[in-house]
Amino acid sequence: MNWFKETLFSTVGQKIIMSITGLFLISFLLVHLTGNLMLFNDDNGAAFNTYAHFMSTAKIVRIAEIILVLAFVLHIYTAWRLTQLNRQTRSKNYICNSPNSNSSWTSHNMGFAGTILLIFLVIHLHNFWFRYKFQVDIPLAAGTDYQDMYWLVHEIFTKEWWFSIVYLVAMIFFGFHLAHGFESALQTLGIHHYKYTPLLKKIGLLLAIAIPAGFATMPIYFFFQ
């Protein structure tokens, strides 16, 4: 048990936890994006409202939400903890950091990008999850007894223009975060092979472009609708 605790809370253990939770969160984002693409159906939001109602009432989704929250908390905590450990192990502070061949702006600023995304996440949850759950003036979806989530999304992206801008900026940082995070997670978990690593890097780049771009289409679509 002591060996397990020492491994879990070691630098290596923290990196493994952050990698596993990061990959799990990417899988969640793919599912979340797939559901949100129903916004573009030509049915006045019927399919998306059905999806939103299921996601807010199904018991299996409640269980998944608990796992998701735990993954978020672990990912954020381990990222913060590793940042603190890295600072503690520095022998001295440098006036300027000269990037080398194995570094990039993204890798040096993962903490900054992560902080921006955390702030965005809080705003995002307030605008959509909290307001859908507790705002009383949301109309009912046509022919149903549950609230019209499509109406809420439309209202936010068309009338709260500042949030659309914040959303788009956050997706840029999200792309950078994914580009480095996916590859770093695979390296930490020892998933590399001279034949498959180039393909995995391409998949990581594709995810880093496709996922943020997919989410970014939503405020753009409603703003110019």
Taking Cα atoms as reference points, which of 55, 25, 50 lies closest to residue 39?
50
d(CA 215, CA 225): 16
- Which alpha helices (DSSP H) does the chain contain, by range? 2-8, 11-36, 46-57, 59-88, 105-108, 110-124, 131-134, 149-159, 161-188, 197-223
Single-letter code of the amino acid located at 219: P
pLDDT value of position 3: 53
Q: Alpha-carbon distance 128 to 139, whole Å?
A: 15
Kindly list the distances between the CA atom of residue 198 and the CA atoms of 163, 193, 201, in Å, as whole numbers in the listed order: 37, 9, 5
pLDDT score recorded for residue 60: 93
Q: Which fold has domain 2-88+106-223?
A: 3 helical TM bundles of succinate and fumarate reductases (1.20.1300)
CB atoms within 10 A of CB 28: 15
Q: Which amino acid is at 188?
A: T
Could you tell me the two tokens for 197?
């690593």
**pTM for the predicted model, two decimal places:** 0.85
Task: Judge whether 152 and 138 are in contact, CB under 8 Å.
Answer: yes
Q: Which two tokens stand for residue 210?
A: 């496709």
pLDDT tens readout for residues 98-110: 444 344 666 667 7
What pLDDT band is residue 95 in, cutting at 50, 70 and 90?
A: very low
The pLDDT of residue 120 is: 95
Distance between terminal CA atoms of the chain? 58
Per-domain boundaries in the chain: 2-88+106-223
- Higher per-residue confidence, 159 vs 4: 159
Do 212 and 174 form a contact (C-beta atoms < 8 A)? yes
Q: Are 138 and 49 in contact, with CB atoms under 8 Å apart?
A: no
Percentage of residues in the chain with pLDDT exceeding 90? 64
What confidence tens digit (pLDDT) does each residue in 192-207 have?
777 888 899 999 999 9
Taking a C-beta distance cutoff of 8 angstroms, is the pair 98, 27 a contact?
A: no
User: d(Cα 182, Cα 198) in Å, to the nearest integer?
Assistant: 13
